[in-house]
Structure 1
Amino acid sequence: METNLVIEGMKFMLLGMGTVFSFLIIMILCMNAMSKIVHKFFPEPQASADVNTTSAPAQDKKKIVAAITAAIKYHREG
C-alpha cells in the first residue's frame, strides 16, 4: 500500500484552489447583484446644468486657472 505524496499534494492543491476560485466567483456575483439592487432603489442624483464646470463661461474658467496657478506658485515658494 504505497502512497505517492506528490499526487496527493496535487489533489489537495487543486481542491484548495478550486474552493477559493469558486468562493471568489460567488462573491463577485453577489456583489454585482447587490450593486444593481442598491442602484435600483437609491439612484445617483443628477447634477444640474448650472453646477457643471464644462458649461461655465470663459471668464469663470480664467478665474479658476488663475487661482490654481497662484496656489501652485504659493506651494513652490514654501
Structure 2
Amino acid sequence: MERDVASMSRFAFLILAVVNAVLNLLGYQTISEQFVNDVVAILSGVYFIWAGWKNNYLSKKGIKQKEVLKKHKLH
C-alpha cells in the first residue's frame, strides 16, 4: 500500500492542533497566537494564489480547455 504524503501531513497537523488545543485548555501556552495568525495568513495567501491559478485559464492545459469549451459553445 502506498502512503499518500498529503493525507499524512494533514493528519499530522490535525494531531498537533488537537494537542495544542488541549494544552491551551489546561492552561499551558504552547504556540503563540501571533505565530498561528502569521502561519494562517501565509497559508491562506498561498492557497488563494493556487486556487486562482487552478480555476482560471492561465496554464497551457487551461487554454486548451477553454478552446474546447468555445468549440462546443459552452463558454
Q: Normalised by the size of structure 2, how large is the TM-score? A: 0.41
Rg larger for: 1
